[in-house]
Amino acid sequence: MTAAIVVVGLYALGVRMLIRGGRVPVVAPAEFTDAITVLSPAEARKAERKAEKAARKNPLTAGQKRLARLTAYACFGLCAGAVLFGIYLIVPALHGA
């Protein structure tokens, strides 16, 4: 359970640092069932404009933005490493047991 909390926490921190670094994740609209709200093209453009405006207001310097992005990538790398280690522990053929 602790490992799950760590992985989720690292992923959340990675997303947060990615946003602070100026890389706002905007997902393009897609076709889904009624269970998921789909953005219209106008709503998607509005969301992209809001993201660009927020990026312009970012008070961080270029170096701080770069550091935030590197921190985000490090968090994502640690998440991937934890998942791969979990798979290694679960699959006996990988560790000779």
**For 84-97, how does the pLDDT look when each residue is reduced to its tens digit (9 = 90+)?**
998 998 898 887 75
Structure tokens at 13: 């921190």
Structure tokens at 83: 């998942």
Assessment of whether the complete model's pTM goes beyond 0.75: no
Q: Does a structural domain hold residue 90?
A: yes
Reply yes or no on whether the pLDDT at 19 is more than 80: yes
The pLDDT value recorded for residue 22 is: 77
Please give the radius of gyration of the chain, using alpha carbons only, rounded to the nearest integer: 18
Q: Is 11 left (phi over 0), alpha (psi -120 to 50) or beta?
A: alpha
Reply yes or no on whether the pLDDT at 24 is more than 80: no
How far apart (Å, rounded) are the C-alpha atoms in residues 55 and 25?
11
The pLDDT value recorded for residue 44 is: 79
Q: Does a structural domain hold residue 55?
A: no
Reply yes or no on whether the pLDDT at 9 is more than 60: yes
- How many structural domains compose the chain? 1
Q: Does a structural domain hold residue 27?
A: no
Look at 43 and 83; give whichever has higher pLDDT. 83
* Domain span including residue 9: 1-22+60-96
